[in-house]
Structure 1
Amino acid sequence: MITEESVREVIDTARIEDVVGDFVNLRRRGQNMIGLCPFHNEKTPSFNVNPSRNIYKCFGCGEGGDPVKFLMTLEQLSFPDAIRWLADRYNLKLEEKEVSQEVRQERQEKESLLLVNDFARKWFEDQLYNTEEGKSIGLSYFKSRGFRRDVMEKFGLGYAPLQRDAFFKAAVAAGYKEEQLEKLGLVRNKRDFFFDRVMFTIHNLGGKPIAFAGRILKKDVKAPKYVNSPETEVYHKSDVLYGLHQARRSVRKLDNVYMVEGYTDVISLHQHGIENVVATSGTSLTPGQARLIKRQTENVTLLYDGDKAGIKAALRGVDVLLVEGLNVRVVILPDGEDPDSYMQSVGTTAFGDYLEKQRQDFLFFKADLLLEEAGNDVAARTDAIRSIGATLALVDDPLKRAGYLQQFSGRLQIEESLLVSLVNQSIADRRKQAQKEQEREARRQQRRGREDQRSAEPKGRGNRTPPPPPAAGEEDQWAGLVEPSWGDEDVPPMPPPELEDLSAEEPPQTLPDLPLLGHSHQEQHLVYLLIRDGHKMYDPEKNMSIAAFLTANVADVLGDFDHELYRKVVSLVTDYVRQHKSGPDANWYLHHPEGAIQELAQTATVSPYTYSPNWKEKYGLHLSQKPPEENQRLAAEIFLRVFRMEKIDRKVKENVLKIKELAVAGEESRLKKFLKLQSRLVEMRKQLASELGTVVITK
């Protein structure tokens, strides 16, 4: 039992930024630090570390505490184990009192799974280094791969002997229970699961052994080349990457991780100085693994064999990485080589040079590969372009996606507008598929809920089922254009009749409501204004808040928003203003029941004011008086005028395409209506330009 004095020394010594930093890539923000929460899936950082108070807090899922609590929650450690972990971390010597056999057995029971795995690791290592069978078979194999003893010990390599009950007998003799051994998949019916194989230990981020992989060395046998531990309470394969425990410091330092397929590739590269490398263990990447990477770095380089199987493996995992917002590059090795063999062949220096020279953006790599395979076949080329568009649709960042679209339109020799349409369609298809899956899952939950209630509730009580899932997102049409009313009305004005009639007969084409596309950056800025300044006064004489002013003047273009979340926030604030005659303050967003809105509020309350990219160059945008945070009325007016100008500009461009289409088709009656709409749009744009005050229009 650890003495109270030792516990207090550990708690006083441990620093939250050090402990969390071993698991999460943290960035400084003012006096605090932020990162992606390791306890739940998120793309926008809401996990905060406060060094001065030595605590952490996630405003997305609510987890919080000190260094000990962090380890207990993340690594599923008991309090004593968390203290021991921290003592090792800071090289502190713990004083422990003698404990009885009963207390020792109770502790072993609580920590059984991790303790048994640690015992297994040590036993496999002992078999490798200290038995004739292990040295002649296992150690000879590892030496033939060029592995040094220190690296082998660092990765926990070992050997499982041919005798089928050797480990079982040793574990039972050491006091471990048979049910614990079976639960971890180490033993089945008193027979060892791993035998006659070299062993690889799989660690969690904290360095604890959580599973094993065994490789057979005999050739021409029907047994699988590799066998792995089954899923257990401490090992979830989809959330683990081999070698990340050993690589994480190098990954964060270099801000890049190399991803390979095999265990030996990781060890070989690590031994030759390339330590920022992990393995997928020969399986396709999972969302959990992608999120695990993103907590360490946003840059991934796929390093795969040069044969067709290696290239297909590279293609297979990228979608998951792109969805998580990672920057993906790829290096394809020469045909017939894997990372280990090529390193051994050319040496460390030449291998490093090859990685630097051959590394390329994955999206361009995929495009070149597919187009090369398609050749001059029109059908194959069409399929290739559609596949590229589907991959581009996975890029969430609007600026990054815009850059890709510009470059790919020239690379593919197609109009950028056509490529945008393909991307939009891919996202819409993906959304529909996700909606179907959500509906199926909701139905399954309803069925399970009804079954549980039948068995748990008394007769006569009605069943309570979960609410139905939200309806699938539909494309919102242009709600109608009106001259902007700069805060004169509390209720958004209705569109003119002639525009309503035109929309009813032939709705002008709009881009679908898609995440982070088109005007999403501007819409984000609008929401940031609402969160930070919506509760402040725009016009004290009329008792009008900033939120009332903004929501009234974007209501007629709300249907043309590109980002679903931002549109939803504006709609919610509009309803709030109608009920309370003012805008909500930041706490309303921070404590909103929807996690996405909470995360948005977290970002908004700490991010500086930034106008949309290119607004300064495009409009000569500037504030002649105070900065936005000190002059909310001026900031809101300037932003709103430019925001509406952007929406109208896009509508003008879309309408021009429609006019050309109708002119070619010779549809005179419809052409006249769209010409009339175009005239009105241009008139509105001119009026806005004359009212832009401190904004200078350069075109």
Structure 2
Amino acid sequence: MIKEDSVREVIEMARVEDIVGDYVNLRRRGQNMIGLCPFHNEKTPSFNVNPARNIYKCFGCGEGGDPVKFLMTLEQLSFPEAIRKIAARYNFKLEEVEVSEEVKEERREKESLLLVNEFARQFYEDQLYNTDEGKSVGLSYFKSRGFRKDVMQKFGLGYAPFKRDALFKAATAAGYKPEQLDKLGLIRNKKDFFFDRVMFTIHNLQGKPIAFAGRILKTNVKAPKYVNSPETEVYHKSDVLYGIYQARQSIRKLDNVYMVEGYTDVISLHQHGVTNVVATSGTSLTPGQARLVKRQTENVTLLYDGDKAGIKAALRGVDVLLIEGLNVRVVILPDGEDPDSYMQKVGTTAFEKFLVDSRRDFLFFKSDLLLEEAGDDVAARSEAIRSSISTLALVDDPLKRQGYVQQFSGRLGLEESLLINLVNTAVAERREKAKRDAEREARRRQRGPVGQRPARRQKEGYDHAPFPGTPPPNSAPAAAPPPKADSSDENWAGMEDMGWAGGGEEDGWGGPPDAYFGPEPGFGPDPGPAPSEDSLDRVGSPLILTGETYQELDLARLLIRHGSSHYDEEQHLSVGTFLTRNIADLLNDFDAPIARKVVLMVMEVSANELAPPPEFFLNHEDEKIRQLAIEATTKKYSMSPNWREKYDVILRQKLPEDNQRAYADNFLRIFRMEKIDRKCRENIAKIKELDRAGDEDGLILHLKVQQQLDQMRKELAAELGTVIL
């Protein structure tokens, strides 16, 4: 583990013009430097580097940050990996905190397994190009598919010879241990697992070989067409997509990824210029794969065969993508064609035009398809509508969902108010099911393996991250430490500096304002202009801070100070990742822009389930973020008066330094309770307004909403051990 002092030194020594200059051809323009943006496709430079402030900014796509963020975004590195890469560039020796022998051994084992896989990749490649068997069988097959040598080498294609111990003998002769080969699934009982097959290498996001797939070429044998490496310490198939390493930069530039089924489809499309493509390898998509895609882009286009199986595959895989908040489109190829064959038939230009012209929003594609199949059958049409609504309910973004509702109303032939009620019911049912599943899984884990006595319930923790939007059940309260409040003008001025009052200052670019991590349209209320100090008084000033501003700033401080701490070591889940996942649905209701900004930063920077350490915020280019970070890391905690009175039970627990997990759990509960209380107040006011106006339909809808809010309050209150009125 890298020492904090070393991290700080690396951040200070890293020059943005050096780091960016390794990837972008920069030229001077006044005090700044410009070049073509590496994050999106452009012909006119809009990518700016400001050496004086040590930051970069693209005014085309909005990407911006410091040298560390540049590497994390472009190379898809975690924060520690980016620090190590910068240190290596400047020949700086990092100081590391001593870790346990167990952790060291685990790291060494994973590194050694990756080295064994690299040896296997080289072995299969050598067999393909340098042996008579490989040339006549493997190389001739790849050439028949039209693959060029440079593309074959880029994807790590190879050949496993018919001899059953060829790899085993070569690897052991090179000094690799048989037990390592066995762990990776490369051998079984000292016999090669892959033999007489052409080989496809599966890489992780950093380009290291983690697994293999072998395709048999003979047609007269009873054997599976493809065999794959088993799950290992370095390969978890549910978190991997074939071709993601080769496609990652193109995906980010084009802000879209094409998903196909097979390995050869990826290679063929890549060779013909469609490089933003990955394969699901014929399996159903998983949440891990969806999150992997989301780190590159929010736009997914499913590209499947035109037969019934291809269409059903498209329908099956989309749910996890929608749940992760991705925008999903679909392109169905002509019947009997796959991406490779259709590309070969029509050529690259016509194929790319077909992809653009034929893609449709998945939700509309699904509803039109189901309604077309249903025809005039009333029962079938009702089922088609229910299925479409259940898919629409997977869209969590309320603005996006509202846009769909407006268009779906006409497509489905339903009144918009009725459709809203049906969608809200489906959303509530989905969240309730997710909560029940989470509770069931928690009970299963507490019981332990079959045949053992049930484990006792732990009072201060929760053993896995709940579904986003639902608080974790069954853990005892812990102390929440909002900062000490003051109603003086001086305190208000500090709040204004931290972004509460909106405001802004020149960004130093001499161009468009810096939008990096700034508020986005449609997110949260506009606080309006900051009041002048003359207009404030000691009675009026505290009233401006009503709402949940105190708690939102508490959340921001918690994310800064303890976000990188472990929430669940086994799952490699940090406190920051846990909290931001579970308050993402509340961002629209934030009052303090600076708090929302910190939450979005943690969401953006988090990689491999880890959140950024305090140094990330202490060295941020935004002065307001730095001020908040200094406050978060230097001042002692004091309880917010509001929380102190309402949730005094939590004062018996330890502070977060001593009890990270329980503290995060209970902070989340209280934070959500405060937001639900606010929603209740707003909804009750709306009910009164509708009652006075005589709007019965609207009144019924908001009464139903109130019932749901009341139920949520009761459940949270039970977990907090409080009484609600």
TM-score, normalising length from structure 1? 0.61
Alignment of 1:39-118 (within 5 A): 49-51=65-67, 64-65=79-80, 67-69=82-84, 83=88, 111-118=111-118
Distance 1:197 1:660 in 2: 67
Deviations 1:3-23 (A, max 9, x none): xxxxx9xx96896668999xx
Deviations 1:444-492 (A, max 9, x none): 343349999999xxxxxx9744568999989xxxxxxxxxxxxxxxxxx
CA contact (8 A) 2:690 2:698 kept: no
Name the residue aligned to 2:298.
298
Deviations 1:103-150 (A, max 9, x none): xxx999773111111111111111111111111111111111111111
1:546 is aligned to 2:543: yes
Change (3 A) 1:64 1:130: closer
Distance 2:698 2:207 in 1: 65
Distance 1:386 1:648 in 2: 29
Change (3 A) 1:210 1:648: same
Higher relative contact order (CA 8 A, sep 6+): 2
Name the residue aligned to 1:155.
155
Name the residue aligned to 1:679.
none
Alignment of 1:166-245 (within 5 A): 166-245=166-245
Structure number with larger C-alpha Rg: 1
Deviations 1:43-79 (A, max 9, x none): xx9x99533899979xxxxx845724479xxxxxxxx
Deviations 1:664-696 (A, max 9, x none): xxxxxxxxxx9xxxxxxxxxxxxxxxxxxxxxx
Distance 1:468 1:13 in 2: 42
Change (3 A) 1:650 1:402: farther
Deviations 1:378-404 (A, max 9, x none): 111011101111111111222221111
CA contact (8 A) 2:110 2:234 kept: no
1:288 is aligned to 2:288: yes
Name the residue aligned to 1:525.
524
Partner of 2:175, secondary structure, is: coil
Partner of 1:233, secondary structure, is: coil
Deviation at 1:327, TM superposition (A): 1.1
Distance 1:524 1:173 in 2: 61
1:363 is aligned to 2:363: yes
1:605 is aligned to 2:594: yes
Q: For 2:696, which of 657, 665, 682 is the aligned residue?
A: 657
Name the residue aligned to 2:579.
595
CA contact (8 A) 1:16 1:67 kept: no
Deviation at 1:542, TM superposition (A): 2.9
Deviation at 1:533, TM superposition (A): 8.9
Name the residue aligned to 1:433.
433
Distance 2:534 2:524 in 1: 19
Change (3 A) 1:145 1:463: closer
Name the residue aligned to 2:3.
none
Change (3 A) 1:538 1:288: farther
**What is the percentage of aligned positions where both structures have the same residue?**
59
Change (3 A) 1:119 1:19: farther
Name the residue aligned to 1:390.
390
Change (3 A) 1:432 1:402: same
CA contact (8 A) 2:687 2:699 kept: no
Name the residue aligned to 2:406.
406
Deviation at 1:656, TM superposition (A): 2.2
CA contact (8 A) 2:68 2:83 kept: no
Deviation at 1:350, TM superposition (A): 1.5
The residue type equivalent to 1:545 in the other structure is P
Deviation at 1:604, TM superposition (A): 2.8
Change (3 A) 1:468 1:113: closer
Alignment of 1:323-338 (within 5 A): 323-338=323-338
Change (3 A) 1:243 1:13: farther
Partner of 1:221, secondary structure, is: coil
Change (3 A) 1:51 1:606: farther
Distance 2:399 2:259 in 1: 26
Partner of 1:143, secondary structure, is: helix
Deviations 1:490-511 (A, max 9, x none): xxxxxxxxxxxxxxxxxxxxxx
The residue type equivalent to 1:50 in the other structure is D
Deviations 1:258-297 (A, max 9, x none): 1100000000111111111110111111111111111111
Change (3 A) 1:525 1:463: closer
Distance 1:134 1:258 in 2: 32
CA contact (8 A) 1:446 1:465 kept: no
Distance 1:175 1:227 in 2: 26
Distance 1:399 1:277 in 2: 29
Change (3 A) 1:595 1:330: same
Distance 1:432 1:107 in 2: 39
Partner of 1:213, secondary structure, is: strand
The residue type equivalent to 1:443 in the other structure is R
Distance 2:301 2:172 in 1: 44
Name the residue aligned to 1:444.
444
Alignment of 1:109-148 (within 5 A): 111-148=111-148
Change (3 A) 1:143 1:450: closer
Distance 1:383 1:302 in 2: 24
Deviations 1:190-235 (A, max 9, x none): 0000011110011112211111000011114321111111111211
Distance 1:299 1:408 in 2: 21
Partner of 1:164, secondary structure, is: coil
CA contact (8 A) 1:34 1:49 kept: yes
CA contact (8 A) 2:303 2:331 kept: yes
Deviation at 1:244, TM superposition (A): 1.2
CA contact (8 A) 2:447 2:454 kept: no
Alignment of 1:18-33 (within 5 A): none
The residue type equivalent to 1:378 in the other structure is V
Distance 1:55 1:354 in 2: 35
Distance 1:657 1:294 in 2: 42
Gaps of 5+ in 1: 1-7, 36-44, 58-62, 72-81, 91-105, 456-461, 475-520, 552-568, 577-582, 609-638, 663-673, 675-699
Name the residue aligned to 2:377.
377
Distance 1:34 1:325 in 2: 26
Distance 1:276 1:235 in 2: 23
Gaps of 5+ in 2: 1-9, 25-37, 41-46, 92-105, 472-519, 563-574, 598-677, 704-725
Change (3 A) 1:377 1:183: same
CA contact (8 A) 1:243 1:279 kept: yes
Change (3 A) 1:653 1:307: farther
Deviation at 1:306, TM superposition (A): 0.3
Partner of 2:440, secondary structure, is: helix
Partner of 2:185, secondary structure, is: coil
Distance 1:213 1:251 in 2: 24
Change (3 A) 1:147 1:602: farther
Distance 1:18 1:328 in 2: 35
Name the residue aligned to 2:274.
274
Alignment of 1:338-353 (within 5 A): 338-353=338-353
Change (3 A) 1:258 1:214: same
Distance 1:268 1:131 in 2: 25
